Amino acid sequence: MTSASTGRGVWPLAGIVFASIAVAAAAGAGTPLLALYRSRWDLPLWELTAAFAVYAATLLLTLLTAGSLSDHVGRRPVLVGALALMIVASALFLVDGGIGWVLGARALQGIATGAATSTFTATIVELSSTRRRALMTVVTSAAPVGGLALGALLTGISVDLLGDSTRVVFAVLIASFVIGIIAVSAARETSARVPGALRSLRPRLVVPRPARSAFLSVAPLIGAGWMFSGLFLGLGPTFDRAILGVDGGAANGVIVALQPAAAAICGIPFARVPAKRSAWVGALLTALGVAVAVAGIFTTDILVVAFGAVIGGAGQGAGFGASLRLLGAQADNTDRGALFSSAYLIAYTGYGLPVLLAGWAAAAIDLRLVVLSYGAVTAGLAVWALAGLSRGQGRVRTQPARTP
């Protein structure tokens, strides 16, 4: 019996889930604020894109170097350190002294998120009882996108309602990170200390041999889903105003948050669906949602864009949760952190790099053409995943591996 199945273990586990949502919410909060900063400081588009890109770049670098660190030093030290770093990043946002401070805060957010994301997933899965493990794996897949949606939505609303929204938002986030540190400290350690911590910091993609077939099968699905999130969270503030004519923080926050919110909410019911079937449905819905959303942007029909966001968001929720379930069944406590880190490396590469390229392209060509190209690549990855899953690629076990 794990500690999570007892009353003593439930509250730390709930606090850790809450903290994982708060970390993602901090990143999502930056999206509406970047649009606000652009208006306040008269920033060029490339500086706005740079503020998004520096977060993605530091996050990816951290996943490459520190993604498996918790497999060696334990889950709790990595999570406490990451949450402390998020407090420092939030304090930099409170300074609000110009784009340089924002870039610094976003860089620290990326480092902290890269260190924490896969470790949160491994910790929550390992603290969960065997009976609840499939559900909690899906919850961990919903937490990052749900947090992004929550941060973008609440910040967008606060921009309209409050005179000093930045201070309110990040003061609340700091309090949330303190709660997270308390919860992590109260939880039991699930990963024993083993040698090799310094060697684990070499940049690399770690996929244990038993998981390679499953990883190749779900990688394009993970990439497609997170690229679709990037379309809204990275490019959304730009095409909302330039193409759809949406003005105001609350309206912008709603549109930006709709896709990740759909991913978080719709992904949970798929925990009861067999993982391979859920992945197939997720790939189909993602491809369909991309097509509908891009059509809505081209026709400047905001309702069609919203409909596509919900369809594709549901696809991402189903597909990403299923992907983590398929991968988690291939690992144990000695390499689960590294494997989930590799999955999130694919996810955040799809989330960040295409947005950076699209931001640069938008300075030279029509934004509609950029969106069309972005959508074509995203849909292509989803169709690739759909074809592979339909062929039965990656014959993998679906029951969790034994844990020490």
Query: pLDDT digit string (tens) for 187-225?
Result: 998 877 877 777 767 766 778 788 888 899 899 999 999
Tokens at 378, concatenated: 């995203």
pLDDT at 44: 65
The b/e string for 44-71 (b: 16+ C-beta within 10 A; e otherwise) is: eeebbbbbbbbbbbbbbebbbbbbbbbb
pLDDT tens per residue across span 125-159 = 888 887 888 788 888 888 888 887 788 778 777 77
- Whether the pLDDT of residue 402 is over 50: the answer is no
pLDDT at 234: 75
- Whether the pLDDT of residue 6 is over 50: the answer is no
Span 3-189+206-390: which CATH code?
1.20.1250.20
pLDDT tens per residue across span 367-395 = 889 999 999 999 999 999 998 888 754 44
pLDDT at 5: 45
pLDDT: which is higher, 5 or 336: 336
Cα distance between residue 118 and residue 57, in whole Å: 16
Q: What is the mean pLDDT of the chain?
A: 83
pLDDT at 112: 94
**Structural domain boundaries of the chain?**
3-189+206-390
Q: Decide if 147 contacts 22 (C-beta within 8 A).
A: yes
Angle between helices 7-41 and 165-186 (to 10 degrees): 160
Q: Decide if 83 contacts 180 (C-beta within 8 A).
A: yes
Q: Decide if 270 contacts 315 (C-beta within 8 A).
A: no
Cα distance between residue 329 and residue 163, in whole Å: 49
Give percent of the chain above pLDDT 90.
32
DSSP per position, 295-342: HHHHTT-HHHHHHHHHHHHHHHHHHHHHHHHHHHTT--TTTHHHHHHH
| Arithmetic mean of pLDDT, 103-108 | 90
pTM reported for the whole predicted model? 0.78
pLDDT at 96: 66
Indicate the residue type of 127.
Answer: L
Cα distance between residue 230 and residue 130, in whole Å: 33
Residue 3 binned pLDDT confidence (cut-offs 50, 70, 90): very low
pLDDT: which is higher, 36 or 404: 36
pLDDT at 97: 67
pLDDT: which is higher, 241 or 92: 92
pLDDT at 249: 60
